Amino acid sequence: MRTTLPRGLLILTALCLSGCSRSAQNLVTLAGSTAFQPFAEKLAEVYLTTHPDAQVNVQGGGSAVGIQAALSGAADVGMADLLDLPPEASSLTSTAVAKDGIAIIVNPGNPVSSLTADEARSIFSGKTASWKEVGGHDATVRIISREEGSGTRRSFDALVLGGDKLASGALFENSNGTVREAVASDPEAISYLSIGLVNERVKAVAFGGIAPSNRNVKNGTYSLSRPVFFLTKGEPSPAARAFIDFVLSPVGQGILEKEGLIAVKE
């Protein structure tokens, strides 16, 4: 008993480490945007059915990690969903691979179903403090926003707030899922969410008279959307190039459309 335990552990560790062959040729590593990560995984899943000897490794960490990873070579492709890329990323090549529509959401029990651009701007900047002013109950508006630097947030601020600042008492959540849950359980809350993630728990309001749908983003009538970029340093490896081409191919773009994003190439 005394010597078998350490010996056993040693063998086990050796076995684990022995499986450390990684064929680097066919390996593509993507890292970055946590919002796009699930979509990248889905794309990889389908890609692997037609390219069985490829290896696609998708990581998250956030857009900044994606940029860092692309710059340092830790990843072949950085995924970023920022409206515009920071100066550090200027040496990277960016390819838009998808668009994500943004819907303004309220609690399903909220009678408000439509907001004009001015009303939306006024609410989110704090000037309109009560739902009564836009046709709702007599209750204080509770704004839930996303964190500073989030791609969705930056796009939303630019497109809805214009030059105005976000209201000072706004609450923040840091992911689509929690935003949705928070609005679903708060009758007075208002926030914004990826169109693809709107479900029966929340209500998406029309913006400027236009219903938030991917179709309306595509035909240009609905203006709230943000791009998703693939960032590569210099010339991508053949394996990475193949995968990027797949994502931009009709099959890849079709998958993205089916999952709730908007294709950039038809």
Partner 1 sequence: MDRFISRLLFLAACSSTAILALIALFIFMEGAPILFRSGFGHFLAGRTWAPLEGQFGILPFILGSLWVTAGSLLLGVPLGVACATYLAVFAPPRSALILKPAIELLAGIPSVVYGFLGVLWLAPLIRTHLGGPGLSILGASCVLAIMILPTIVSVSIDALQAVPRSYREGSLALGATEWQTTRRVVLRAARSGILAGVILGMGRAVGETMAVIMISGNATHIPGSILDSVRTLTANIAIEMGYAVGDHRRALFATGVVLFFFIMILNTAALRVARRKF
Partner 2 sequence: MRIAPTLTEKIAKGMLMLACASAVASLLFVIVFILAGGFRHVSWGFLTQPILDMGRSGGIAPAIVGTFLMVFVALGIAAPLGVASAIYLAEYTLEGRATQAIRFGINCLAGVPSIIFGLFGFILFVVMLGLSWSILSGGLSLAAMILPTIIRTAEEALRSVPAQYRDVAASLGATRWQVVTRSVLPYALPGILTGVILGIGRSIEETAVVIFTAGSAVQMPRSLLDSARTMAVHFYILAREGISTEKAYATAAVLILTILVINILAYTLMHRVLRGRRAV
State which of residues 86, 108, 162, 238 lies at the interface with partner 1 (CB under 8 A). 86
- Classify residue 153 as exposed, middle or buried by CB count within 10 Å of its CB (0-12, 13-18, 19+): buried
Task: List the interface residues with partner 1, window 122-161 (CB under 8 A).
Answer: 142, 147-150
Q: How many residues bind partner 1 (CB under 8 A)?
A: 28
Closest among 67, 66, 54, 95 to 242, alpha carbons compared: 54
Instruction: Candidates 86-94, 99-107, 227-235, 239-247: pick the segment binding partner 1 (CB under 8 A).
Output: 86-94
Task: List the interface residues with partner 2, window 109-128 (CB under 8 A).
Answer: none
- From the list partner 2, partner 1, none, partner contacted by residue 14 (C-beta under 5 to 8 A by kind): none
66 makes contact with partner 2 (CB under 8 A) = no
CB of 149 to partner 1, least distance (A): 3
> For residue 246, what are its two tokens?
């797949």
38 makes contact with partner 2 (CB under 8 A) = yes
Nearer to partner 2, 116 or 178 (CB): 178
What are the backbone dihedrals phi and psi of residue 115, each rounded to the nearest 5 degrees, phi first?
-130, 140
Instruction: Candidates 21-29, 81-89, 126-134, 160-168: pick the segment binding partner 2 (CB under 8 A).
Output: 21-29
Closest among 205, 206, 179 to 193, alpha carbons compared: 179
As a whole number of angstroms, the distance between CA 213 and CA 111 comes to 20
Contact of 229 with 32, CB cutoff 8 Å? no
CA dihedral 107, 184, 64, 24 (to 10 degrees): -130
63 makes contact with partner 1 (CB under 8 A) = yes
Nearer to partner 1, 66 or 136 (CB): 66
CB of 64 to partner 1, least distance (A): 5
> Which runs of E-coded beta strand occur in the chain?
27-32, 55-61, 77-80, 92-106, 114-115, 142-146, 171-173, 189-194, 203-207, 225-233, 262-263
238 makes contact with partner 1 (CB under 8 A) = no
- From the list partner 2, partner 1, none, partner contacted by residue 42 (C-beta under 5 to 8 A by kind): partner 2
Contact of 142 with 171, CB cutoff 8 Å? yes
CB of 182 to partner 1, least distance (A): 6
Could you list the residues that contact partner 2 (CB under 8 A)?
Answer: 9, 13, 16-22, 29, 31, 34-35, 37-39, 41-42, 45, 57-61, 65, 72, 74, 175-178, 180, 197, 199, 259
